[in-house]
A and B are shown apart, each in its own frame.
Chain A
Amino acid sequence: MVSEVYSLALKDTLNEMVHACPDIRNALIFSEEGEIIATDDGTPEDIAVHTVDALDEMLDKAELIGSVDNIAFAGANGWLEVSHYDNFYLVTVASAHANVDQAGGLTRVLVPTVLKVLKRINLLPVKDSLEELEVEREEPSENDAEEAADESFEEARTEEEKKESAQEQESKPIPEAQVNQFIVESLGGMFVSPDTVRVDNDLLLKWKEMYEDKEIREVEIATFGGKSSRRKVKPIKEAKFEGKGMIQMHEKAQSLLEIKKGELVRVKPVIE
């Protein structure tokens, strides 16, 4: 599910696009899963739903042609264009006398740029320091047996690695921990430990590279309300949550930090 922050930013973008180019009559964005992310103010929801439905079978067959980059329907009174960016489809409808170059240029530049910015915002370092915030450690109350076994093994291995590299690490300066902002997403299931959070694997790899191949096993999470906590970190498992700037967190952990799904938190790796 795409967060409200994304939806609002994209809705504003579509509205601005329609204002800047009045020949564009309707605009909407939907995900590859068929979820409507945003529409401009002039496009009612039922029209957006019918539009996605109408494209459903075509997009289902898109594998045949190597996935769709663009579709253009040219009618006597107007045209409809579908453009594919990352995981999203942008639909624009314009009148027949529309300046195709202007309208097309606008959509081809504006929407991908905003999508790129939204994607990057959650990975950009934030200047505020977490050092000033109090760090609390929450004890886990229920653990998945398998996950716990994995974690004990990983911890034992970490200890070994720590001993081995302790001396050389003392002499090397460690870069300051990078702080990132994430949108909270709930992590459910019977075997989910409240002590573990999940973030993009790409970010974990980036941290590993940044901190000279140190395995990042824990993160510090700080809320904008001043609460903070240290949690074990693992990569996100579900592909649909990857690259969305999300941190998956057990509801118990959310409750201890006094936050809810959809809120922003600051996260930095624990480098030891």
Chain B
Amino acid sequence: MVKKRGNIQEVANERGPVAIEEATTKGDLRSNLAEVKKWDGVVGYILRDESSALVDLNDPAKITDYAILSSATHEAAEAFSTLFGLGKIQRTVVQGKRIKMVSLDIDDARVSVFTEATADTDKIMKKLQER
């Protein structure tokens, strides 16, 4: 099932009902992401969980590239966790010359937020971890 709302794309599979508490957490996370997306310097985000992915990017033409970067970052994090015994990787910050990406694991969800290189990502991380 694919829903489109402007630049937002939601992709979900049919997996039946989810627990109410989980839905609330996801609801908080989604509303926090929607708020963060309005902040200066934020260019978009990708939210993934076991059953769906929610993408909101200023430049929808680059959705695939951002999704690959987000996914490659997650795979690298898993590899490093095993290789160097780092434990669960809680956050990853990729600082590029133009864009910065922050990836966080929040419960079962994996969030990647893309911002301009100079944006305050600490503030974003704090907001996303709020309940």
Q: Give the distance to chain B from A224, nearest Cβ to Cβ, in Å.
A: 42
- A73 touching B72 by the CB < 8 A rule? no
- A51 touching B80 by the CB < 8 A rule? yes
A75 interfacial contact with B, CB 8 Å: yes
Report the separation of the CA atoms of residues A7 and B50 in the bound assembly, to the nearest whole angstrom.
44
A88 interfacial contact with B, CB 8 Å: no
Q: Give the distance to chain A from B105, nearest Cβ to Cβ, in Å.
A: 11
Please report which residues of chain B, range 18-68, place their CB below 8 angstroms from some CB of chain A when the two chains form the complex. 62, 65-66, 68
By CB atoms of chain B within 10 A, which of A64, A68, A69, A79 has the most?
A: A64
- A61 touching B65 by the CB < 8 A rule? yes
- A76 touching B86 by the CB < 8 A rule? yes
- A55 touching B76 by the CB < 8 A rule? yes
Report the separation of the CA atoms of residues A54 and B65 in the bound assembly, to the nearest whole angstrom.
18
Q: Which of B69, B86, B91 contacts A64 (CB 8 A)?
A: B69
Q: Give the distance to chain A from B29, nearest Cβ to Cβ, in Å.
A: 19
Assuming the contacts A72-B92, A80-B80, A93-B86, asked whether A66 and B117 have C-beta atoms less than 8 A apart, the reply is yes
Which residue of chain B has its CB nearest to the CB of A59? B72
- B89 touching A75 by the CB < 8 A rule? yes
State the main secondary structure of chain A at its contact with B: mixed
| Number of chain A residues close to chain B: CB under 8 A | 32
Assuming the contacts A64-B62, A68-B96, asked whether A57 and B90 have C-beta atoms less than 8 A apart, the reply is no
Which residue of chain B has its CB nearest to the CB of A58? B72
Which residue of chain A has its CB nearest to the CB of B78? A54
B94 interfacial contact with A, CB 8 Å: yes
B17 interfacial contact with A, CB 8 Å: no
A97 interfacial contact with B, CB 8 Å: no
A124 interfacial contact with B, CB 8 Å: no
Q: Give the distance to chain A from B42, nearest Cβ to Cβ, in Å.
A: 14
Interface band, chain B: 20 to 34
- B86 touching A54 by the CB < 8 A rule? no
- A77 touching B73 by the CB < 8 A rule? no
Which residue of chain B has its CB nearest to the CB of A46? B83
- B76 touching A58 by the CB < 8 A rule? yes
1/0 per residue, CB under 8 A from A, across B69-112: the answer is 10011011101110111111111111111111100000000000
Q: Which residues of B contact A77 (CB under 8 A)?
A: 85-87
- B68 touching A65 by the CB < 8 A rule? no
Assuming the contacts A66-B117, A68-B95, A76-B86, asked whether A54 and B68 have C-beta atoms less than 8 A apart, the reply is no
- Using a CB–CB cutoff of 8 Å, the interface residues on chain A facing chain B are 25-26, 47, 50-51, 53-55, 57-58, 60-62, 64-80, 93, 96
22 sample A-B contacts, Cβ–Cβ < 8 Å, listed by A number: A47-B84, A51-B83, A53-B79, A54-B80, A58-B76, A64-B66, A65-B69, A65-B96, A65-B97, A65-B100, A65-B101, A66-B96, A68-B94, A69-B97, A72-B92, A73-B80, A75-B88, A78-B84, A78-B86, A79-B86, A80-B80, A93-B84
- Using a CB–CB cutoff of 8 Å, the interface residues on chain B facing chain A are 62, 65-66, 68-69, 72-73, 75-77, 79-81, 83-101, 114, 117
The 6 A-B pairs at the shortest CB distance, nearest first, are namely A65-B96, A75-B86, A76-B87, A66-B98, A66-B97, A77-B87
Q: A60-B72, A61-B65, A65-B69 are in contact. List 6 more A-B contacts (CB 8 A).
A: A54-B76, A65-B96, A68-B95, A70-B95, A75-B87, A77-B85
